[in-house]
Amino acid sequence: MKRRVFIQQIGAGVALMGAGPAFARDSDMPDYKMPEEFLPREVRISNKLAPYEIHVDPGQHALYWTLPDRMAIRYAVGIGRPGLYESGEFYVGAKKEWPSWTPTPDMIKREPGKYAKYKDGLPGGLNNPLGSRGLYLFQPGIGDTYLRVHGTNLPKTIGRRVSNGCARLINDQMVELYDRVPLNSRVVMYPTSVT
């Protein structure tokens, strides 16, 4: 599917969060001061996608949670680095609050100095790479793909290609998205080369 047919933001949209969040955050989570362009906002989409799905457009560093009547909530995200981002269709097979994290064998092989020390895992918390929440992406016949939509406490990574294949939102925005997304929701990760 071509991006110009996929989703088009019309107008600036209506910011969903201003200076403070419109939802209760976990008590130990800091207040992330994000630039206005990185705040979630309701937008009109150009084609009729089914409501209540996640669509990730890597070219815009955007994740859309679709709503009825050709509307969506647009979140700014960081995505997988070149060669690590994986497009495809998935479903949310598991949801976890403050998930633990273990690097995959491929991650350890690529960067042993960075990841080998975590081969036995890292408990959930603010300094965990999966952040506040994780949506675990599965595929039929495969199960867990080890791809995630997850939180991060690193605001500078939003709007960039930084991760090992996943899509990341700032922690407080991830909590908000997590609460909206039920298990088995469809997730579409669009290719990076669409025009």
Annotated catalytic residues are 150, 166
Give the Cβ contact number of residue 44 at 10 Å.
15
Place of tokens 């690097």: 103
For the record, the structure tokens of 128 come out as 């965990």
For the record, the structure tokens of 89 come out as 């269709």
CA–CA gap between residue 187 and residue 14 (Å, rounded): 24
> How deeply is 128 buried, as exposed, middle or buried, from its count of CB atoms within 10 A (0-12, 13-18, 19+)?
buried
Selection from 137, 128, 136, 107 nearest residue 119 by Cα:
107
CA distances from 123 to 98, 127, 144, 184 (A): 8, 9, 19, 25
